[in-house]
Amino acid sequence: MTTVRSYSKINLGLHIGPPRPDGYHHLATIYQTIELHDLVTVTATVSGETSITLRCQHPGVPCDERNTAYKAVAMALDALETKAAVEIAIDKRLPVQGGIGAGSANAAAAILALEAELGRQLTANARLALAGGVGSDVPMFLIGGTMLGIERGEETFPLPDLPSFHIVTAFPEVGVSTPQAFRDWDATLTQNAENDRLIEFRRRVAMAFAGQPGVSGKAGDLAEEPLLALVRTGLENDFETVVFPQQPSLRALKSALEEGSLYSALSGSGSSLFGLYCTEEAAQAAQQRVRSLGCEARQTRTLPRSEYWATMFI
Ligand SMILES: C[C@@](CO)(OP(=O)(O)O)[C@H](O)COP(=O)(O)OP(=O)(O)OC[C@H]1O[C@@H](n2ccc(N)nc2=O)[C@H](O)[C@@H]1O
Ligand SMILES: Nc1ncnc2c1ncn2[C@@H]1O[C@H](COP(=O)(O)OP(=O)(O)O)[C@@H](O)[C@H]1O
């Protein structure tokens, strides 16, 4: 039996580009892993026939082949050319359709736990390719820390880790369907310049993380924190444009998170929102403000890559 902490993520800026011929959208985002997690437990025994069973206590999570962890395990067994009896148990602590990638993280955790159970590993290339086949934000959970995501989000590159910040996440009861949010974005747009925005965002990320002057247009900010550099030049999540008008209460939650924060935003396509804070006091105050609006709020922190891997297996 192998149990893995299936950590979640936030998006620090997200730009949506034009639709691709396969129906997905080009995008550019910074992913950041955070400490909040589900637990994924896998038991696997090599067998003459493959059987996969999955248990999860959350009513919104399918327990069949539609489950991301189920899919990932089935695909990994194929890639390993192995048949096995596999039991997966997901202890769901995070919201479903929350924009913090919990379902995607479950898939990555299941692959890693299956490998540990079988004592065999896919090549890094095969593992990343397989993860991208399960979902666009599954591969980032095989890297962890601060990352750039491009193409449809599945091409993920590690960035130098941001320092660990205090975070408050707001979990509204409403869920947001990711495909619907992309369709809504398409419906509101004249898209001529959209690819240019992705390219510009990628360049700003490169400059900010290289610590180069010119990000803010001012000389002398070589040592500036990458996050501050990005915030100063505008760090936006395009999904806010379509999700906030449909769910106006989310705007008030963002305002509640904003005070005293370095940055606050919707995560992914929502409905979760988050704020980043330099001090625990500022985070505590924000948590209280969100709770006073009747919304669940949790205090947590960003998880750098080394800690992500060091604390994953229980
Ligand atoms: C857009 C993000 C940002 O982090 O949203 P969240 O899920 O976190 O909210 C993710 O990349 C989502 O990743 P994931 O949840 O794995 O999405 P997938 O299963 O690959 O795709 C679900 C559906 O979303 C749409 N989709 C997804 C990614 C993309 N770049 N373009 C799209 O158009 C497609 O309609 C696709 O069928
Ligand atoms: N292991 C899983 N955990 C959560 N949701 C899952 C899982 N497998 C499949 N799903 C389905 O995926 C959808 C959203 O997944 P989730 O990762 O929670 O959202 P988001 O990508 O917005 O963070 C839900 O509609 C749910 O039915």
Ligand located closest to 268 CA: 1
Is 1 within 8 Å of 41 (Cβ atoms)?
yes
Query: Tokens for 128?
Result: 């990343």
Ligand 1: which atom is nearest the Cα of residue 151?
A: 30
**Catalytic choice (137, 161, 184, 238):** 137
Query: Tokens for 122?
Result: 């896919």
76 C-alpha vs ligand 1 centroid, how far in Å? 21
* Fold of domain 2-161: Ribosomal Protein S5; domain 2 (3.30.230)
Catalytic-residue membership of 71:
no
Catalytic-residue membership of 9:
yes
265 C-alpha vs ligand 2 centroid, how far in Å? 20
Angle at 196 between CA 192 and CA 198, to 5 degrees: 115
Query: Tokens for 40?
Result: 């994924």
Phi, psi of 65 (to 5 degrees): -65, -5
What is the ipTM score, two decimals?
Answer: 0.95
Q: Tokens 């505590």 sit at which residue?
A: 284
Span 190-246, pLDDT tens digits: 655 578 889 999 999 998 998 755 444 444 444 458 998 899 888 999 999 999 999
Domain 166-305 in the same topology as domain 2-161? no
What residues have CB less than 8 Å from 248, skipping those under 6 apart?
none
Q: How far apart are CA 276 and CA 13, in angstroms?
A: 13
Is 101 in a helix, a strand, or coil? coil
Boundaries of every domain in the chain? 2-161, 166-305
Span 43-70, pLDDT tens digits: 999 999 999 999 999 999 999 999 999 9
* Fold of domain 166-305: Alpha-Beta Plaits (3.30.70)
Q: Where are the alpha helices (DSSP H) in 188-259?
A: 194-210, 226-232, 239-246, 249-258
